[in-house]
A = this chain, B = another copy of it.
């Protein structure tokens, strides 16, 4: 099979050079291959794609459970459709890839490759929704979208093909749409918890999705102190339903346009898992998304070979009913090489089996997170290993939470200093003026106001009681960060 190359010489130091470390790890662990000759388009070898699909399966489970239905819509959007909502096309017109030719001839009407699917889906919702009895409609798809990013592309963070999941809902009232926003936020909170990526949700003030009335977005802090937007939950109001004429009849027969929301997350899930948990030996994967959760490495010589391998297979059989486990009995690599290899791949647990274990009916378990080694009895090994995986999952989320620093700051020089050094979220007071926001951005060289914490009304007081720039009474407590 295609080799996942774990080179012997080791990798970059994560702490001193996060960006190079990140690029090296995602290539060496087989998460992606950047050598496809088209900028911003990644190839996902099986290991990286399996991690992405694990994240997607977790999300799809949560969406199914809450009554969302998985559908499929075409990726080509005739120009007249994508132009129906003016602000929407305006937001995307510099980023759209256009299909203009079919075979040897120009197409009658050029088509956009979907940069997002509102305009595809809502053209159909117009036909599907008739009455209040049809509502709510909650649908989603897991596909990719295409955006000609003019900014510097970064693998898994800013690509021109984005592997994502987008959900779209339609409701009878603004109140119901607002409630749906909270369901979307709750789904994403559970998703990110399950993949061990801590996030904070903000009511965002800048960069709201083109065509949306408001947005709630989850953010996480990367190890270099910069902050990454991990998705968005958008309240679309009636803007699109009016443009696409998606109406329903009330019980009394009167008609109204539906109220809509949409939310999406992308391959940045994988980026965050790599960034938050990896170390100088490579990946560290949460068991929930690890393609292999447990690797069994038999250690033997010619004399002990038969007994050790047969015992290892036996252990594998016991474990395989409740976890993703494999035995690596390849002859051509040493146990030492295998240890390094599976550490690079971030396999959560390694089970070492030598003659001692085979004889004593035991197994030696080594954790990828902390390198701790423990020899346990074969009897009940399924339970022991399951428990260790559960514990690893919890510990990883808790550990990552501790890296999500938030500092309260009351003055510009301290803000400049923090944004320029350790980064993270910085909590400040703000008067609400656009000028002050602009000054904050330019003076900190990149520190931007994300927004207010979602679901919690934080009162300006104390250190964050005054606008950090003009010193007037603060209207909002906002979070500033240097964003990817």
Contact = CB atoms under 8 A, between A and B. Distances in A.
Interface residues of A, number: 63
Which of the listed residues A35, A52, A53, A99 has the most CB atoms from chain B within 10 Å of its own CB?
Answer: A99
Contact of A74 (B38, B100, B148): B38
Interface string A173-205: 000000000000000000000000000000000
A288 to B, nearest CB: 18
Contacts of A76: 38, 41, 97, 146, 161
A225 to B, nearest CB: 31
A459 B45 CA distance: 46
Interface stretch (A127-135, A315-323, A426-434): A127-135
A329 to B, nearest CB: 16
A49 interface: yes
A146 B102 CA distance: 10
Nearest to A73: B43
Contacts of A70: 46, 49-50, 53
Given A37-B123, A46-B70, A46-B139, A150 B103 contact: yes
Interface in A87-133: 93-104, 110-111, 113, 120, 123-124, 127-129, 133
Copies of this chain, count: 2
Contacts of A67: 1
26 contacts: A1-B136, A1-B138, A2-B129, A37-B78, A38-B74, A41-B76, A42-B74, A43-B74, A44-B72, A44-B73, A45-B69, A45-B71, A46-B69, A46-B139, A49-B72, A76-B146, A76-B161, A93-B104, A94-B103, A97-B102, A98-B99, A98-B101, A99-B99, A99-B100, A100-B101, A103-B150
